[in-house]
Amino acid sequence: MFWASYLLAALAIILAWPAPIALSRAAWPARAPFTAMVLWQSIALAGGLSMIGAMLVWGLEPLGDNLVSASVGFFRILVDEDSAATLGVIHVFAISAATLLFGHLLFTLALTFVRIRRQRRRHRDMLNLLSSPAADQPATLVISHPAPVAYCLPGGARSVTVMSDGLMDLLTRAELDAVLTHENAHLHQRHHLLLWAFAAWRAALPWLPTSRLAQRAVSELIEMLADDEALRHVDEPTLVRAIAIVGSGALPPSRDELDDPLADPLAEPSADHHADRHAVQGRGGTPGAADVTGGTGDAQSTAHRLRRLLTPLPPLSRVQQGLALSTAGMLLVVPPVLLVAPELLG
Amino acid sequence: MATLGDLERTVMDLLWATPEAMNANALRDAIAEAPSGQVGRELAVTTVLTVLSRLEKKGLVERERDSRPHRYRSVTSREDHTAELMHEVLVTAPDREAVLARFIGSVTEAEAETLRKLLGGS
Protein backbone atom coordinates (compact mmCIF):
# COMPACT_ATOMS: atom_id res chain seq x y z
CA MET A 1 0.00 0.00 0.00
CA PHE A 2 3.01 2.26 0.39
CA TRP A 3 3.51 2.58 -3.33
CA ALA A 4 -0.07 3.77 -3.79
CA SER A 5 0.45 6.57 -1.29
CA TYR A 6 3.67 7.62 -2.99
CA LEU A 7 2.02 7.64 -6.40
CA LEU A 8 -0.83 9.74 -4.98
CA ALA A 9 1.67 12.12 -3.40
CA ALA A 10 3.50 12.46 -6.71
CA LEU A 11 0.21 13.15 -8.48
CA ALA A 12 -0.72 15.73 -5.84
CA ILE A 13 2.58 17.55 -6.34
CA ILE A 14 2.27 17.52 -10.11
CA LEU A 15 -1.28 18.86 -9.92
CA ALA A 16 -0.35 21.48 -7.36
CA TRP A 17 2.50 23.00 -9.27
CA PRO A 18 3.86 22.03 -12.73
CA ALA A 19 0.56 21.05 -14.34
CA PRO A 20 -1.35 24.28 -13.55
CA ILE A 21 1.65 26.40 -14.53
CA ALA A 22 1.90 24.63 -17.88
CA LEU A 23 -1.83 24.94 -18.49
CA SER A 24 -1.92 28.60 -17.50
CA ARG A 25 0.85 29.34 -20.01
CA ALA A 26 -0.64 27.29 -22.83
CA ALA A 27 -2.19 29.16 -25.74
CA TRP A 28 -4.78 26.58 -26.73
CA PRO A 29 -7.39 27.31 -24.02
CA ALA A 30 -8.40 30.41 -26.00
CA ARG A 31 -9.29 28.06 -28.87
CA ALA A 32 -11.25 25.62 -26.72
CA PRO A 33 -12.39 27.42 -23.57
CA PHE A 34 -14.91 24.77 -22.60
CA THR A 35 -12.37 21.96 -22.77
CA ALA A 36 -9.88 24.02 -20.81
CA MET A 37 -12.52 24.67 -18.18
CA VAL A 38 -13.18 20.95 -17.78
CA LEU A 39 -9.44 20.34 -17.45
CA TRP A 40 -9.07 23.00 -14.73
CA GLN A 41 -11.92 21.46 -12.78
CA SER A 42 -10.42 18.00 -12.95
CA ILE A 43 -7.00 19.34 -11.92
CA ALA A 44 -8.54 20.96 -8.85
CA LEU A 45 -10.66 17.94 -7.93
CA ALA A 46 -7.97 15.36 -8.55
CA GLY A 47 -5.40 17.56 -6.84
CA GLY A 48 -7.45 17.78 -3.66
CA LEU A 49 -8.34 14.10 -3.75
CA SER A 50 -4.76 12.92 -4.20
CA MET A 51 -3.49 15.25 -1.47
CA ILE A 52 -5.97 13.83 1.03
CA GLY A 53 -5.67 10.29 -0.35
CA ALA A 54 -1.87 10.20 -0.13
CA MET A 55 -1.88 11.07 3.57
CA LEU A 56 -4.79 8.79 4.35
CA VAL A 57 -3.37 5.75 2.60
CA TRP A 58 0.04 6.31 4.14
CA GLY A 59 -1.39 6.71 7.62
CA LEU A 60 -3.60 3.65 7.41
CA GLU A 61 -0.85 1.45 5.99
CA PRO A 62 -0.27 -0.67 9.12
CA LEU A 63 -3.96 -1.55 9.34
CA GLY A 64 -4.55 -3.23 6.00
CA ASP A 65 -3.31 -3.53 2.49
CA ASN A 66 -6.12 -1.50 0.93
CA LEU A 67 -8.25 1.44 1.93
CA VAL A 68 -11.35 -0.62 2.63
CA SER A 69 -9.84 -3.16 5.00
CA ALA A 70 -7.65 -0.46 6.58
CA SER A 71 -10.70 1.70 7.23
CA VAL A 72 -12.42 -1.24 8.91
CA GLY A 73 -9.34 -1.68 11.08
CA PHE A 74 -9.29 2.01 11.90
CA PHE A 75 -12.97 1.89 12.87
CA ARG A 76 -12.29 -1.04 15.23
CA ILE A 77 -9.62 1.03 16.93
CA LEU A 78 -12.00 3.95 17.24
CA VAL A 79 -14.65 1.81 18.96
CA ASP A 80 -11.96 0.30 21.20
CA GLU A 81 -12.18 -3.23 19.87
CA ASP A 82 -8.58 -3.26 18.76
CA SER A 83 -5.53 -1.77 20.38
CA ALA A 84 -4.20 1.43 18.88
CA ALA A 85 -0.67 0.16 19.36
CA THR A 86 -0.43 -0.92 15.70
CA LEU A 87 -0.47 2.74 14.68
CA GLY A 88 2.66 4.78 15.23
CA VAL A 89 2.50 8.46 16.14
CA ILE A 90 3.45 9.36 12.59
CA HIS A 91 0.55 7.36 11.19
CA VAL A 92 -1.91 9.04 13.52
CA PHE A 93 -0.42 12.34 12.42
CA ALA A 94 -0.96 11.53 8.72
CA ILE A 95 -4.54 10.39 9.30
CA SER A 96 -5.29 13.53 11.31
CA ALA A 97 -3.77 15.74 8.63
CA ALA A 98 -5.88 14.09 5.95
CA THR A 99 -9.03 14.51 8.02
CA LEU A 100 -8.21 18.13 8.82
CA LEU A 101 -7.49 18.97 5.19
CA PHE A 102 -10.72 17.36 4.07
CA GLY A 103 -12.67 19.24 6.73
CA HIS A 104 -10.88 22.47 5.89
CA LEU A 105 -11.80 22.18 2.20
CA LEU A 106 -15.46 21.45 2.92
CA PHE A 107 -15.66 24.16 5.56
CA THR A 108 -14.10 26.78 3.27
CA LEU A 109 -16.48 25.80 0.49
CA ALA A 110 -19.46 26.31 2.81
CA LEU A 111 -18.03 29.51 4.27
CA THR A 112 -17.37 30.97 0.83
CA PHE A 113 -20.91 30.07 -0.21
CA VAL A 114 -22.40 31.87 2.78
CA ARG A 115 -20.17 34.90 2.33
CA ILE A 116 -20.93 35.25 -1.38
CA ARG A 117 -24.65 34.79 -0.82
CA ARG A 118 -24.69 37.41 1.92
CA GLN A 119 -22.82 39.93 -0.24
CA ARG A 120 -25.16 39.26 -3.15
CA ARG A 121 -28.24 39.71 -0.98
CA ARG A 122 -26.92 42.99 0.35
CA HIS A 123 -26.11 44.12 -3.17
CA ARG A 124 -29.57 43.12 -4.39
CA ASP A 125 -31.14 45.02 -1.50
CA MET A 126 -29.36 48.17 -2.56
CA LEU A 127 -30.23 47.61 -6.22
CA ASN A 128 -33.86 47.32 -5.22
CA LEU A 129 -33.66 50.82 -3.79
CA LEU A 130 -31.42 52.42 -6.39
CA SER A 131 -32.25 50.95 -9.79
CA SER A 132 -35.28 50.65 -11.99
CA PRO A 133 -36.27 47.86 -14.40
CA ALA A 134 -35.13 48.27 -18.01
CA ALA A 135 -37.92 49.19 -20.35
CA ASP A 136 -37.69 46.36 -22.86
CA GLN A 137 -35.53 43.68 -21.25
CA PRO A 138 -36.67 41.17 -18.65
CA ALA A 139 -34.52 40.68 -15.54
CA THR A 140 -32.47 43.75 -16.40
CA LEU A 141 -32.00 46.75 -14.13
CA VAL A 142 -30.79 50.21 -14.99
CA ILE A 143 -28.86 52.23 -12.46
CA SER A 144 -28.15 55.91 -12.81
CA HIS A 145 -24.38 56.28 -12.99
CA PRO A 146 -22.09 57.99 -15.52
CA ALA A 147 -19.49 55.20 -15.82
CA PRO A 148 -20.25 52.52 -18.43
CA VAL A 149 -20.89 49.52 -16.20
CA ALA A 150 -22.51 46.17 -16.94
CA TYR A 151 -22.55 43.11 -14.73
CA CYS A 152 -24.75 40.26 -13.70
CA LEU A 153 -25.69 39.35 -10.17
CA PRO A 154 -26.55 35.65 -9.94
CA GLY A 155 -29.22 34.51 -7.54
CA GLY A 156 -31.36 31.69 -8.93
CA ALA A 157 -34.72 32.99 -10.07
CA ARG A 158 -33.74 36.49 -8.95
CA SER A 159 -30.65 36.73 -11.14
CA VAL A 160 -30.38 40.12 -12.75
CA THR A 161 -28.22 41.93 -15.25
CA VAL A 162 -27.42 45.50 -14.30
CA MET A 163 -26.43 48.30 -16.66
CA SER A 164 -25.67 51.92 -15.96
CA ASP A 165 -27.35 54.64 -17.99
CA GLY A 166 -23.81 55.81 -18.78
CA LEU A 167 -23.40 52.53 -20.65
CA MET A 168 -26.70 52.97 -22.49
CA ASP A 169 -25.64 56.46 -23.60
CA LEU A 170 -22.34 55.22 -25.01
CA LEU A 171 -23.45 52.07 -26.82
CA THR A 172 -25.67 51.53 -29.82
CA ARG A 173 -28.63 49.17 -29.60
CA ALA A 174 -26.65 46.33 -31.20
CA GLU A 175 -23.68 46.87 -28.89
CA LEU A 176 -26.00 46.83 -25.88
CA ASP A 177 -27.43 43.54 -27.13
CA ALA A 178 -23.90 42.18 -27.28
CA VAL A 179 -23.32 43.17 -23.66
CA LEU A 180 -26.65 41.74 -22.52
CA THR A 181 -26.25 38.39 -24.30
CA HIS A 182 -22.76 38.16 -22.85
CA GLU A 183 -24.08 38.70 -19.33
CA ASN A 184 -27.03 36.37 -19.85
CA ALA A 185 -24.62 33.68 -21.00
CA HIS A 186 -22.91 33.93 -17.59
CA LEU A 187 -26.26 33.36 -15.91
CA HIS A 188 -27.49 30.57 -18.23
CA GLN A 189 -24.23 28.66 -18.14
CA ARG A 190 -24.15 29.01 -14.35
CA HIS A 191 -20.66 30.46 -14.29
CA HIS A 192 -21.24 31.66 -10.74
CA LEU A 193 -20.97 28.05 -9.53
CA LEU A 194 -17.51 27.79 -11.09
CA LEU A 195 -16.51 31.13 -9.62
CA TRP A 196 -17.73 29.99 -6.23
CA ALA A 197 -15.88 26.66 -6.30
CA PHE A 198 -12.61 28.20 -7.44
CA ALA A 199 -12.89 31.14 -5.06
CA ALA A 200 -13.27 28.60 -2.25
CA TRP A 201 -10.35 26.56 -3.58
CA ARG A 202 -8.20 29.66 -3.50
CA ALA A 203 -9.43 30.76 -0.09
CA ALA A 204 -8.70 27.29 1.31
CA LEU A 205 -5.17 26.95 -0.08
CA PRO A 206 -4.02 30.46 -1.00
CA TRP A 207 -0.32 29.51 -0.88
CA LEU A 208 -0.72 26.82 -3.53
CA PRO A 209 0.16 28.02 -7.07
CA THR A 210 -2.63 25.92 -8.54
CA SER A 211 -5.44 27.62 -6.62
CA ARG A 212 -4.38 31.13 -7.71
CA LEU A 213 -3.67 30.17 -11.31
CA ALA A 214 -6.89 28.17 -11.55
CA GLN A 215 -9.03 31.02 -10.29
CA ARG A 216 -7.46 33.47 -12.71
CA ALA A 217 -7.78 31.07 -15.63
CA VAL A 218 -11.39 30.26 -14.81
CA SER A 219 -12.39 33.95 -14.63
CA GLU A 220 -10.80 34.43 -18.01
CA LEU A 221 -12.35 31.33 -19.57
CA ILE A 222 -15.90 32.20 -18.51
CA GLU A 223 -15.49 35.55 -20.27
CA MET A 224 -14.44 33.74 -23.45
CA LEU A 225 -17.37 31.33 -23.16
CA ALA A 226 -19.77 34.25 -22.70
CA ASP A 227 -18.18 36.06 -25.66
CA ASP A 228 -18.72 32.97 -27.82
CA GLU A 229 -22.35 32.91 -26.78
CA ALA A 230 -22.73 36.62 -27.58
CA LEU A 231 -21.23 36.01 -31.03
CA ARG A 232 -24.17 33.76 -31.87
CA HIS A 233 -26.42 36.82 -31.69
CA VAL A 234 -24.28 39.76 -32.77
CA ASP A 235 -21.42 40.06 -35.21
CA GLU A 236 -17.86 40.20 -34.05
CA PRO A 237 -17.04 43.90 -34.76
CA THR A 238 -20.06 44.89 -32.63
CA LEU A 239 -18.86 42.84 -29.69
CA VAL A 240 -15.30 44.14 -30.08
CA ARG A 241 -16.55 47.72 -30.14
CA ALA A 242 -18.66 47.11 -27.04
CA ILE A 243 -15.69 45.63 -25.18
CA ALA A 244 -13.40 48.45 -26.31
CA ILE A 245 -15.86 51.21 -25.40
CA VAL A 246 -16.68 49.79 -21.99
CA GLY A 247 -13.03 48.90 -21.36
CA SER A 248 -11.68 52.33 -22.22
CA GLY A 249 -14.40 53.98 -20.16
CA ALA A 250 -14.18 51.78 -17.11
CA LEU A 251 -10.79 52.90 -15.92
CA PRO A 252 -9.89 51.70 -12.48
CA PRO A 253 -9.74 54.58 -10.06
CA SER A 254 -6.15 55.67 -9.66
CA ARG A 255 -4.59 55.04 -6.30
CA ASP A 256 -5.23 58.44 -4.76
CA GLU A 257 -8.68 58.79 -6.26
CA LEU A 258 -10.07 55.43 -5.36
CA ASP A 259 -13.37 56.95 -4.40
CA ASP A 260 -13.93 58.85 -7.60
CA PRO A 261 -17.08 57.56 -9.25
CA LEU A 262 -15.45 57.80 -12.68
CA ALA A 263 -17.34 60.67 -14.14
CA ASP A 264 -16.86 61.07 -17.86
CA PRO A 265 -15.11 58.07 -19.45
CA LEU A 266 -12.93 60.13 -21.73
CA ALA A 267 -12.37 63.14 -19.50
CA GLU A 268 -9.29 63.63 -17.39
CA PRO A 269 -9.74 62.09 -13.98
CA SER A 270 -11.20 64.91 -11.94
CA ALA A 271 -11.31 65.38 -8.22
CA ASP A 272 -14.77 66.98 -8.26
CA HIS A 273 -16.63 63.93 -7.18
CA HIS A 274 -14.51 62.21 -4.69
CA ALA A 275 -14.41 64.82 -1.95
CA ASP A 276 -17.92 64.04 -0.76
CA ARG A 277 -17.50 60.35 -1.43
CA HIS A 278 -15.22 60.05 1.57
CA ALA A 279 -18.19 60.90 3.74
CA VAL A 280 -19.89 57.62 2.88
CA GLN A 281 -19.36 55.28 5.77
CA GLY A 282 -19.23 51.54 5.81
CA ARG A 283 -16.03 51.08 3.88
CA GLY A 284 -13.60 48.81 5.67
CA GLY A 285 -10.10 49.99 4.87
CA THR A 286 -9.06 51.64 1.65
CA PRO A 287 -8.55 49.12 -1.13
CA GLY A 288 -4.89 49.12 -1.91
CA ALA A 289 -2.24 47.06 -3.62
CA ALA A 290 -4.37 43.92 -3.71
CA ASP A 291 -6.92 45.61 -5.94
CA VAL A 292 -4.28 46.98 -8.22
CA THR A 293 -2.88 43.50 -8.70
CA GLY A 294 -6.33 42.15 -9.36
CA GLY A 295 -6.83 44.85 -11.95
CA THR A 296 -3.67 43.89 -13.77
CA GLY A 297 -4.87 40.32 -14.06
CA ASP A 298 -8.17 41.59 -15.44
CA ALA A 299 -6.37 43.79 -17.92
CA GLN A 300 -4.46 40.81 -19.27
CA SER A 301 -7.72 38.97 -19.49
CA THR A 302 -9.29 41.83 -21.48
CA ALA A 303 -6.30 41.82 -23.82
CA HIS A 304 -6.60 38.05 -24.33
CA ARG A 305 -10.30 38.40 -25.02
CA LEU A 306 -9.79 41.08 -27.63
CA ARG A 307 -6.85 39.38 -29.31
CA ARG A 308 -8.95 36.26 -29.58
CA LEU A 309 -11.85 38.15 -31.18
CA LEU A 310 -9.72 40.28 -33.49
CA THR A 311 -7.54 37.48 -34.84
CA PRO A 312 -9.68 34.38 -34.43
CA LEU A 313 -7.81 31.11 -34.45
CA PRO A 314 -9.50 27.92 -35.61
CA PRO A 315 -11.02 25.89 -32.78
CA LEU A 316 -8.86 23.10 -31.44
CA SER A 317 -9.11 19.95 -33.56
CA ARG A 318 -11.38 17.18 -32.36
CA VAL A 319 -8.41 14.94 -31.70
CA GLN A 320 -6.71 17.55 -29.52
CA GLN A 321 -9.91 18.31 -27.66
CA GLY A 322 -10.50 14.59 -27.17
CA LEU A 323 -6.97 14.28 -25.82
CA ALA A 324 -7.51 17.10 -23.32
CA LEU A 325 -10.87 15.71 -22.24
CA SER A 326 -9.53 12.20 -21.74
CA THR A 327 -6.69 13.64 -19.68
CA ALA A 328 -9.34 15.30 -17.54
CA GLY A 329 -11.21 12.00 -17.27
CA MET A 330 -8.03 10.12 -16.36
CA LEU A 331 -7.27 12.63 -13.64
CA LEU A 332 -10.60 11.92 -12.03
CA VAL A 333 -10.28 8.14 -12.32
CA VAL A 334 -6.68 7.65 -11.23
CA PRO A 335 -6.80 8.83 -7.58
CA PRO A 336 -9.81 6.67 -6.60
CA VAL A 337 -8.26 3.69 -8.39
CA LEU A 338 -4.98 4.20 -6.55
CA LEU A 339 -6.88 4.27 -3.27
CA VAL A 340 -8.18 0.74 -3.77
CA ALA A 341 -5.55 -0.54 -6.20
CA PRO A 342 -3.74 -2.95 -3.88
CA GLU A 343 -6.97 -4.84 -3.47
CA LEU A 344 -7.59 -4.93 -7.19
CA LEU A 345 -4.09 -6.25 -7.84
CA GLY A 346 -4.15 -8.67 -4.93
CA MET B 1 -50.08 43.70 -1.53
CA ALA B 2 -46.76 45.49 -1.69
CA THR B 3 -43.72 43.63 -0.40
CA LEU B 4 -41.47 45.05 2.29
CA GLY B 5 -38.90 45.68 -0.44
CA ASP B 6 -41.38 47.85 -2.36
CA LEU B 7 -42.25 49.75 0.81
CA GLU B 8 -38.59 50.30 1.63
CA ARG B 9 -38.09 51.67 -1.82
CA THR B 10 -41.06 54.01 -1.57
CA VAL B 11 -39.98 55.29 1.83
CA MET B 12 -36.41 55.86 0.66
CA ASP B 13 -37.63 57.67 -2.46
CA LEU B 14 -39.63 60.01 -0.25
CA LEU B 15 -36.79 60.59 2.20
CA TRP B 16 -34.33 61.20 -0.61
CA ALA B 17 -36.70 63.72 -2.17
CA THR B 18 -37.23 65.58 1.10
CA PRO B 19 -34.42 67.63 2.58
CA GLU B 20 -35.86 67.76 6.11
CA ALA B 21 -36.54 64.81 8.42
CA MET B 22 -40.04 63.27 8.45
CA ASN B 23 -41.93 61.34 11.09
CA ALA B 24 -43.87 58.15 10.41
CA ASN B 25 -47.23 59.93 10.23
CA ALA B 26 -45.99 62.38 7.63
CA LEU B 27 -44.46 59.51 5.66
CA ARG B 28 -47.71 57.57 5.75
CA ASP B 29 -49.59 60.59 4.43
CA ALA B 30 -46.99 61.16 1.74
CA ILE B 31 -47.24 57.51 0.64
CA ALA B 32 -51.02 57.85 0.47
CA GLU B 33 -50.66 60.89 -1.80
CA ALA B 34 -47.92 59.36 -3.94
CA PRO B 35 -49.07 58.70 -7.50
CA SER B 36 -47.32 55.33 -7.74
CA GLY B 37 -49.95 52.64 -7.55
CA GLN B 38 -47.66 49.78 -6.54
CA VAL B 39 -47.91 50.47 -2.82
CA GLY B 40 -51.31 50.21 -1.12
CA ARG B 41 -52.49 53.64 -0.08
CA GLU B 42 -53.89 52.80 3.35
CA LEU B 43 -50.86 51.89 5.42
CA ALA B 44 -50.80 51.60 9.16
CA VAL B 45 -48.28 53.82 10.90
CA THR B 46 -46.84 50.70 12.54
CA THR B 47 -46.07 49.31 9.07
CA VAL B 48 -44.21 52.49 8.20
CA LEU B 49 -42.33 52.23 11.49
CA THR B 50 -41.40 48.61 10.75
CA VAL B 51 -40.04 49.64 7.37
CA LEU B 52 -38.15 52.53 8.95
CA SER B 53 -36.56 50.32 11.58
CA ARG B 54 -35.45 47.88 8.87
CA LEU B 55 -33.94 50.74 6.92
CA GLU B 56 -32.28 52.03 10.06
CA LYS B 57 -30.76 48.60 10.70
CA LYS B 58 -29.39 48.63 7.17
CA GLY B 59 -27.77 51.99 7.85
CA LEU B 60 -29.88 53.85 5.28
CA VAL B 61 -31.88 56.14 7.55
CA GLU B 62 -31.16 57.75 10.89
CA ARG B 63 -33.50 58.83 13.64
CA GLU B 64 -33.43 62.21 15.32
CA ARG B 65 -33.08 61.30 18.97
CA ASP B 66 -34.63 64.38 20.54
CA SER B 67 -37.86 64.55 18.55
CA ARG B 68 -41.19 62.96 19.57
CA PRO B 69 -42.55 61.32 17.52
CA HIS B 70 -39.21 60.32 16.06
CA ARG B 71 -38.29 61.95 12.80
CA TYR B 72 -36.23 60.13 10.21
CA ARG B 73 -33.86 61.30 7.51
CA SER B 74 -31.75 59.48 4.91
CA VAL B 75 -28.13 59.02 5.90
CA THR B 76 -26.76 60.05 2.52
CA SER B 77 -28.17 60.96 -0.86
CA ARG B 78 -29.28 58.49 -3.49
CA GLU B 79 -26.33 59.58 -5.64
CA ASP B 80 -23.86 58.75 -2.88
CA HIS B 81 -25.38 55.33 -2.37
CA THR B 82 -25.23 54.66 -6.10
CA ALA B 83 -21.63 55.83 -6.25
CA GLU B 84 -20.76 53.56 -3.34
CA LEU B 85 -22.48 50.58 -4.92
CA MET B 86 -20.78 51.16 -8.28
CA HIS B 87 -17.47 51.59 -6.50
CA GLU B 88 -17.95 48.12 -5.05
CA VAL B 89 -18.60 46.83 -8.55
CA LEU B 90 -15.73 48.63 -10.23
CA VAL B 91 -13.03 48.01 -7.65
CA THR B 92 -13.21 44.25 -7.46
CA ALA B 93 -10.94 42.80 -4.84
CA PRO B 94 -9.92 39.20 -5.56
CA ASP B 95 -12.11 37.88 -2.76
CA ARG B 96 -15.16 39.60 -4.20
CA GLU B 97 -14.74 38.35 -7.73
CA ALA B 98 -17.24 35.53 -7.28
CA VAL B 99 -20.04 37.83 -6.13
CA LEU B 100 -20.85 39.24 -9.54
CA ALA B 101 -19.54 38.97 -13.09
CA ARG B 102 -18.62 42.21 -14.83
CA PHE B 103 -18.67 42.68 -18.57
CA ILE B 104 -15.13 44.10 -18.38
CA GLY B 105 -12.79 43.87 -15.44
CA SER B 106 -10.58 46.76 -14.44
CA VAL B 107 -8.17 47.86 -17.12
CA THR B 108 -4.96 49.82 -16.73
CA GLU B 109 -4.50 53.28 -18.17
CA ALA B 110 -2.20 51.87 -20.89
CA GLU B 111 -4.78 49.24 -21.79
CA ALA B 112 -7.51 51.83 -22.02
CA GLU B 113 -5.29 53.88 -24.31
CA THR B 114 -4.86 50.87 -26.61
CA LEU B 115 -8.61 50.33 -26.62
CA ARG B 116 -9.23 53.98 -27.54
CA LYS B 117 -6.75 53.71 -30.42
CA LEU B 118 -8.55 50.60 -31.55
CA LEU B 119 -11.83 52.50 -31.56
CA GLY B 120 -10.32 55.44 -33.40
CA GLY B 121 -8.77 53.22 -36.04
CA SER B 122 -11.77 51.03 -36.75
Task: Give residue limits of the domains in chain A.
Answer: 1-87+317-346, 121-315
The minimum CA-CA distance between A254 and chain B, rounded to whole Å, is 9
Torsion of CA A89, A91, A97, A103, to 10 degrees: -110
pLDDT at A276: 38
Which pTM value belongs to this model? Answer: 0.84
Q: Which residues of B touch A143 (CB under 8 A)?
A: 82, 85-86
Contact A150 B102 (CB under 8 A): yes
First vs last C-alpha separation in chain B: 53
Q: Is A3 exposed, middle or buried (0-12, 13-18, 19+ CB in 10 A)?
A: exposed
- Tell me how close the Cα of B65 comes to any Cα of chain A, in angstroms: 20
3-state secondary structure of B16: helix
DSSP type of residue A314: P
Q: Tell whether A130 lies on the interface with B, counting CB pairs under 8 A.
A: yes
Q: Do B107 and A248 touch (CB under 8 A)?
A: yes
Residue A127 sits at the chain B interface (C-beta within 8 Å):
yes
Interface check B109 vs A, CB under 8 A: yes
Residues 6+ apart with CB under 8 A from A50: A8, A9, A11, A12, A15, A334, A335, A338
Number of Cβ pairs < 8 A linking chain A and chain B: 194
In the prediction, which pLDDT does A267 show?
39
- Residue A139 per-residue DSSP state: T
Q: Is the pLDDT of residue B122 over 60?
A: no
DSSP letter for A317, please: P
For B:14-53, CB contacts with A below 8 A are none
B106 contacts A295? CB cut-off 8 A: yes
Question: Which of B81, B11, B5 minimizes the C-alpha distance to B52?
Answer: B11
| pLDDT reported for residue A70 | 85
CB contact set of A279 (below 8 Å; sequence gap of 6+): B76, B80
Residue B96 is predicted with a pLDDT of 62
Tell me how far apart the terminal alpha carbons of chain A are, to the nearest angstrom: 11
Closest Cα in chain B, distance from residue A294 (Å): 6
- In whole angstroms, give the CA distance from residue A268 to residue B51: 42
DSSP code of residue A305: H
What b/e readout covers A88-127, taking b as 16+ CB neighbours within 10 angstroms?
eeebeebbebbeebbeebeebbeebeebbeebbeebbebb
Between strands A140-143 and B101-102, the pairing is unpaired
Q: Which residues in A lie closer than 8 A to residue B84 (C-beta atoms)?
A: 277, 280, 282-283
Closest-CA distance of chain A to residue B44, Å: 22
User: How confident is the prediction along chain A (346 residues), in pLDDT tens digits per residue?
Assistant: 678 889 999 999 999 999 999 999 999 999 999 999 999 999 999 999 999 999 998 998 888 777 888 888 888 888 888 777 778 899 999 999 999 999 999 999 999 999 999 999 999 999 999 999 998 889 999 999 998 999 999 998 899 999 999 999 999 999 999 999 999 999 999 999 999 999 999 999 999 988 999 998 999 999 999 999 999 999 999 999 999 888 887 555 544 444 444 433 343 333 334 333 333 333 333 333 333 333 344 556 777 888 899 888 899 999 999 999 999 999 999 998 888 876 666 5
